């Protein structure tokens, strides 16, 4: 009698990289992509706003990078279906890589993202969840953990810490040692099991976050009874469903309710900006509205400069600086604002004035 041995499928480890808006996920991703760690990594990125800025901020590399911008990964079903589709595509050419890294949007709850890997039997057989790595912004995390506006709604900053196998307290260069120590104590109370690392500019020991095999039955994410539940979310312009704002977004059975007051505004311009005027405007804006503007990102064409300018804002910390030269002749400036009380038309008109100034000075 002949017996054939069952074929053994190599399972590809997946790392979910999460963390609140602006905590340093893309910075860590870029660090990973430029280090010699022996892994060949395929990257899947998800962004909250409907205009893709993140892929412009990821350093070019040989790695496979897939972008999903059509909604929040943790909650819009279409996005999770999209993730499954991307995974299926990736796994059909799995000889090209040996690790998958999924960067979630800064408002995502990583638990339903992890659940997505089990939505499709074929995918579930071929991947294993290596771990959930959560970045924490040492300057701003406390204000999000203690956000008084949430009043009983889900706090994503807490969810992200709860779900983690590794927590990286990032931006330690911006706070003193006592603040980091106190933060570590607070985080330990939220998540008793995760290893806590510290970093400046997300420079961490990569062996501590990749290939950790953190996903087991004792993993915090599996312990969540709502692991496979449908998930509710914060709506923005990119959502593909009807918005009934009277219901408070409480349409998930298990009572998840995200903060409906947080939204995103994405704006695109096809004319160059006056650098000084733009800089003055955005600095003035965050000086006044920095509590409400959680995140501001932009890729911008500046009049008379062949380089792309990158705008990075996290509350009141703001940076506008030149990057590499534009690759294509079609230059488009893109801005994404994420936060509360954002007035699209006001932001649009104010930015247009910075454009018009440039045109006027030509």
Per CB under 6 A, residues contacting ligand GTP are 19, 21-27, 54, 106, 170-171, 173-174, 200-202, 295, 297, 312, 314, 319
Secondary structure class of 340 (helix, strand, coil): strand
Alpha helices in the chain (DSSP H): 25-34, 54-57, 77-91, 110-116, 121-126, 141-145, 156-162, 177-190, 275-289, 344-361
To the nearest whole angstrom, how small is the minimum distance from the Cβ of residue 113 to ligand GTP?
14
Q: What distance in Å separates the CA atoms of residue 45 and residue 83, rounded to the nearest whole number?
A: 10
To the nearest whole angstrom, how small is the minimum distance from the Cβ of residue 18 to ligand GTP?
9
Which residue, 171 or 256, is less far from ligand GTP as judged by CB?
171
DSSP 263-283: EEEEEEESSPBPHHHHHHHHH
Q: What distance in Å separates the CA atoms of residue 122 and residue 210, rounded to the nearest whole number?
A: 23
Which residue, 133 or 150, is less far from ligand GTP as judged by CB?
133
DSSP 183-208: HHHHHHHH-SSSEEEE-STT---GGG
To the nearest whole angstrom, how small is the minimum distance from the Cβ of residue 140 to ligand GTP?
10
Which residue, 19 or 339, is less far from ligand GTP as judged by CB?
19
The encoded tokens of residue 202 equal: 């997300």
Which residue's beta carbon is nearest to the bound ligand GTP? Answer: 106
To the nearest whole angstrom, how small is the minimum distance from the Cβ of residue 156 to ligand GTP?
11
Which residue, 12 or 339, is less far from ligand GTP as judged by CB?
339
To the nearest whole angstrom, how small is the minimum distance from the Cβ of residue 313 to ligand GTP?
8
**Which residues have a Cβ under 8 Å from the Cβ of 258 and sit 6 or more positions away?**
75, 107, 153, 154, 156, 232, 233, 234, 249
Which residue, 28 or 87, is less far from ligand GTP as judged by CB?
28
Q: What distance in Å separates the CA atoms of residue 321 and residue 305, rounded to the nearest whole number?
A: 12
Which residue, 11 or 55, is less far from ligand GTP as judged by CB?
55
To the nearest whole angstrom, how small is the minimum distance from the Cβ of residue 360 to ligand GTP?
30
Which residue, 226 or 316, is less far from ligand GTP as judged by CB?
316
To the nearest whole angstrom, how small is the minimum distance from the Cβ of residue 342 to ligand GTP?
15
**Contact call for residues 53 and 295 (beta carbons, < 8 A):** no
Q: What does R_g of the chain's alpha carbons equal in angstroms?
A: 21
């Amino acid at each position: 009698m002949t017996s054939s041995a069952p074929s053994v499928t190599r399972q590809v480890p997946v790392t979910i990289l999460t963390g609140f808006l602006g905590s340093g996920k893309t910075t860590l991703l870029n660090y990973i992509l430029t280090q010699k760690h022996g892994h060949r990594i395929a990257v899947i990125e998800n962004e909250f706003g409907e205009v893709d800025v993140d892929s412009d901020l990821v350093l070019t590399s040989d790695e496979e990078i897939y972008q999903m911008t059509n909604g929040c990964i943790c909650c819009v079903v279409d996005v999770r279906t999209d993730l499954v589709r991307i995974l299926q595509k990736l796994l059909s050419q799995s000889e090209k890589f040996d690790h998958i890294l999924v960067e979630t949007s800064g408002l995502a709850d990583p638990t339903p993202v992890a659940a997505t890997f089990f939505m499709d039997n074929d995918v579930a057989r071929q991947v294993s969840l290596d771990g959930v790595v959560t970045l924490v912004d040492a300057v701003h995390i406390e204000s999000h953990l203690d956000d008084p506006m949430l009043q009983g709604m889900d706090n994503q900053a807490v969810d992200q810490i709860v779900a983690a196998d590794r927590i990286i307290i990032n931006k330690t260069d911006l706070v003193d040692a006592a603040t980091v120590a106190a933060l570590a104590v607070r985080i330990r109370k939220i998540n008793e099991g995760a290893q806590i690392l510290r970093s400046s500019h997300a420079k961490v020991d990569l062996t501590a976050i990749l290939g950790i095999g953190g996903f087991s039955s004792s993993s915090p994410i599996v312990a969540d009874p709502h692991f496979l539940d449908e998930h509710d979310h914060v709506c923005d312009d990119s959502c593909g469903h009807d918005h009934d704002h009277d219901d408070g977004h409480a349409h998930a059975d298990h009572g998840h309710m995200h903060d409906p007051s947080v939204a995103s505004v994405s704006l695109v311009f096809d004319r160059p900006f006056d650098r000084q005027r733009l800089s003055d405007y955005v600095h003035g804006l965050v000086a006044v509205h920095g509590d409400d503007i959680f995140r501001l990102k932009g890729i911008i064409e500046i009049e008379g400069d062949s380089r792309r300018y990158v705008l990075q804002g996290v509350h009141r910390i703001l940076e506008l600086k030149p990057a590499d030269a534009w690759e294509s002749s079609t230059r488009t400036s893109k801005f994404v604002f994420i936060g509360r009380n954002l007035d699209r038309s006001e932001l649009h008109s104010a930015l247009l004035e910075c454009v018009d100034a440039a045109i006027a000075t030509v």
